[in-house]
Structure 1
């Protein structure tokens, strides 16, 4: 054991030294370098297998197609007219014959009625393509369901219930919070021993959730002794089924008590039977299942002994993160945690399990190295932050009172909510009464007085001594993403992604001069700070107070086109997928062509009617975009859209044309041409 530990330590020391030779310094830009040499040395020593096969990242897209059914199934069940025949190429006599065959070999009571016929015909008319895609996904999940059901001696047909519940999407979440393939509510999941915490939600685990669903069915069958009533109780609870039995005079048949059940449950069992029919007779109706990209027998599991992220596994095993997410849906943060009292398992394509198990020691050595490197980076950043606080700011503390919220506290202290949360390690928006909050105040915050004219109180800010920008009505200027650059003849407002190098280039000056004019002792900049970017000697006495115009901010909208998805729209406009979903109240990744989405919040409205802003735009901003060539160094988080906003009059298509760019992807460090 001592020899093994010494060897591992020497190996880590040697590879850390090798990695240090590959560090790239980029002045003013803080980037995370991928430890290429260390990663390559680890992977180069792996025991490999010749029979490995290519992993297909399209698996995630295949799962996504099933959302078509999941999102609209309930509405269709409740809106089908059960009294009127739907025109479809399925004679009633033939349907009755097929239902009778299904009934003869099934423990479910399958009776023909007009409502069931109409629902089957509605599915055939509107959802053939969706079912064809979903049947490919079923090749992966149905063997898992059948194994769990067989262990409890449950009818295997209940596997079709997961189609009705979640459309076979393990990440499906209903409007009331039911989650996973079998749509367990939080309390029910806990009752059936499904672990739910900050890192793991086993309601989305196909194996464990299927076992829990089978146990639930067993428990309900001992009560009702009828599988149709078991299904009804799964949807609305055993209490509602018992009420319906009493109200019907003691009837024990679903079709006899149906009208006494909740409306959703009335269509629930017919939807299950209609789904079973379509799976049984899909060939007769011309439904050709798509090719399954991943099948159950092509995967295997391995126990993970150390905490590791999907990104690390992806780098080591060359598996797309999207596929890891699809195969391991119960891990909420794309991290496999390590608990002392509980084992966690990783599902991988079978060809990768052998690589993982044969190289476990090397994989865990890489994870340990990554963890130590991240901890060292955190310590370095903390030291930098401490220096800034000591030299440029003062710290005060505020005790939270009852009724306070972060927005009001931030506003009263002239700081950003995001900074307040960062300084106090607050993740959400709630703050407990009595908690002491640390607030970092700039020493010059009170001396950089701001004067706002009565006539243009919400439009114009007067900045004195070029030290800071402050305004009572500027809530939308400093705190927002991609803050507007408010240039004047000698003043520059620091925006997201700026550093002294890029600011010096933009204003035809040097870093040393900017530091001298602004009395800066380090290269750290605060978002929203006003910097003097030209020599004070060129100013006239009348320039003591300089007007900085804040144009109107508006939301940016985009109409969804054919082929668009949230990922491509996110890249195009530089907004995260989470923001796009939040701004547009989206509960899934599905988009309809023609929908208008909000793709950016509080951006500058260039076509404003304000004369002052128009003049400012033509005289100042127009010069940099139209009358001279420039270069822009791409930084982390940039997109073509966000860069184009920095140069009014320049469009995304201009940037693509000038730099021979075909897609929307940008790499930090790229040098973009901005032509006049």
Structure 2
């Protein structure tokens, strides 16, 4: 086994060394080839995922099991973070990397005495498949315990050899994992069971969320299922969960639980048996239907389902049984996490969005607390221009503080969102200047961990400031007019005429960034005139030509005094 891993690692390393790693800024969504001889990439992207995967493969080949496990955890963590913030450039490549990480983890599994605390479901099910299934007499202690504790369950629990094997798994290799789940249960138990009961569903379906995600709303699988209930994108959409650049409701504990309750209700209505309904939740209803038709029986325990699904239902039953009396199964009594508590604040209609960093500072809390209460938010701001107004969760007792004081903060209240495709040579500061917003707004709207790292063709979402319709400084009829042509955009015109998007909106009374062919726009302020730079011009020579100080022109155009001017550039010259 080790020899095989060494060969694989060497082949991958050879491929990696065959090409240059290139600079950190690259031009397409493909994952650059990396070598584990390079230092870890300092950016969280698919290149970093590949590096950690290769490092894990080599560490495994060298017998460094813990190091391999840590690298795989780092790789899947980066993938999850990229997906959470809508930052995946190449989703096909991301899924391929996710599958490779899972396969690497499965090959590592035989060498792990205990599974990691946040183990993903496929690892648990694969670990369970290694359990020895023994035929036990009817009066065997584990079977007696199952019979006794199942009376406290409102879901069918079967006392058989496969459920006993699942109990043993949680008491041995899965012990640390289950102990973490028991701690987290306090945070979501009441929230989830209240929703299940309201939908007329068994409360013990709570333990389905336990095994699906370990009660981690940010749980992410290699197939890109996310959230407490591990909804795939298409299933979430089918159940009414929205997914945009700004939010992913599959991660919201309340909305996802409501959707899961409806979905499970539909599955139970179709199959009439909770074992089959749970199998369909895992494998898909189509596969369960076909298996029943092929087998001629609807007895779950007799169906020839995929190994993962065969282990799924007994794992659920074991989790429900242990949770009824953890100490009986050797788990120490430990404090649970406090319940998921919050105050819901409907944002005022004239607040186009809330910057989470600014709000957290105002409320005297860490920004992460707002993300934990609102895990559906994918960026560092609430969805701009949300209608109906967005409802933000804040810690109890903080709602009125937010409503009373946030509007007085110097935070730009965006009026519209523009999608901008990064061009070669762009910088965040240059883009911010063009749109008349701060670099902080762009970074927050796109969750940029490193604002200096953007790539050509990357899409940035830019909340454009709602510039007031100022009476002073607005262009008069003497200002230069421009007729919009087909294909023009407001940001392109702003760049062409050396003004900001906010200026164009204010001068022309535009509520949004939408313009249409034939529309007449004022593109200069009455206090300025336009000048097109010609070859040989400098800021000082232009200033002499108009009898102005160079600093006045530099200030008007937000450029440095020593900046090189390119021929064809349009400058605003103060009158």
Normalised TM-score (structure 2): 0.51
> Where do residues 35-434 of structure 1 align in structure 2 (5 Å cutoff)?
66-68=117-119, 72-83=123-134, 93-249=140-296, 251-257=297-303, 260-296=304-340, 298-305=341-348, 306=351, 307-356=353-402, 360-366=403-409, 368=411, 381-382=433-434, 421=456, 426-427=459-460
Return the offset for 1:312. Answer: 1.1
| Counterpart in the other structure of 1:584 | none
Aligned in 2, Cα 1:140/1:420: closer, same or farther, shift over 3 Å? closer
Aligned in 2, Cα 1:382/1:341: closer, same or farther, shift over 3 Å? closer
Return the offset for 1:418. Answer: 6.9
Aligned in 2, Cα 1:143/1:268: closer, same or farther, shift over 3 Å? same
CA contact (8 A) 2:201 2:261 kept: yes
CA contact (8 A) 1:135 1:289 kept: no
Aligned in 2, Cα 1:355/1:271: closer, same or farther, shift over 3 Å? same
Q: Give aligned pairs, total.
A: 327
CA offsets, 1:208-260, max 9 Å, x none?
000000001111111111111111111111111112222222x2321122xx1
Structure 2 distance, partners of 1:435, 1:425, is: 20
CA offsets, 1:45-77, max 9 Å, x none?
xxxxxxxxxxxxxxxxxxx98514657323213
Structure 2 distance, partners of 1:111, 1:174, is: 28
Structure 2 distance, partners of 1:419, 1:211, is: 38
Structure 1 distance, partners of 2:459, 2:271, is: 49
Q: SS in structure 1 opposite 2:387?
A: coil
Instruction: Please report the RMSD computed on the Cα atoms of aligned residues, expressed in angstroms.
Output: 3.7
CA offsets, 1:249-286, max 9 Å, x none?
2x2321122xx112211111011011112211202233
Aligned in 2, Cα 1:317/1:523: closer, same or farther, shift over 3 Å? farther
Structure 1 distance, partners of 2:122, 2:333, is: 21
Return the offset for 1:177. Answer: 1.1
Structure 2 distance, partners of 1:170, 1:310, is: 19
> Where do residues 438-457 of structure 1 align in structure 2 (5 Å cutoff)?
none
Aligned in 2, Cα 1:369/1:333: closer, same or farther, shift over 3 Å? closer
Q: SS in structure 2 opposite 1:329?
A: coil
| Counterpart in the other structure of 2:71 | none
Larger radius of gyration, structure 1 or 2? 1
Return the offset for 1:201. Answer: 0.1
CA offsets, 1:85-142, max 9 Å, x none?
9xxxxx9722111211243444533222222212211111123333233222211111
Task: Give the gaps of 5 or more residues in structure 1.
Answer: 1-63, 86-90, 385-416, 429-433, 439-520, 526-676
Aligned in 2, Cα 1:290/1:366: closer, same or farther, shift over 3 Å? farther
Structure 2 distance, partners of 1:322, 1:82, is: 44
Q: SS in structure 2 opposite 1:347?
A: strand
Return the offset for 1:181. Answer: 0.6
Return the offset for 1:364. Answer: 2.1
Aligned in 2, Cα 1:280/1:69: closer, same or farther, shift over 3 Å? farther
Return the offset for 1:381. Answer: 4.4
Structure 2 distance, partners of 1:354, 1:419, is: 38
CA offsets, 1:377-410, max 9 Å, x none?
87984599xxxxxxxxxxxxxxxxxxxxxxxxxx
Structure 2 distance, partners of 1:105, 1:75, is: 29
Aligned in 2, Cα 1:369/1:286: closer, same or farther, shift over 3 Å? same
Aligned in 2, Cα 1:266/1:233: closer, same or farther, shift over 3 Å? same
Task: Give the gaps of 5 or more residues in structure 2.
Answer: 1-80, 82-115, 419-428, 437-451, 462-486, 493-559, 565-575
Aligned in 2, Cα 1:127/1:92: closer, same or farther, shift over 3 Å? farther
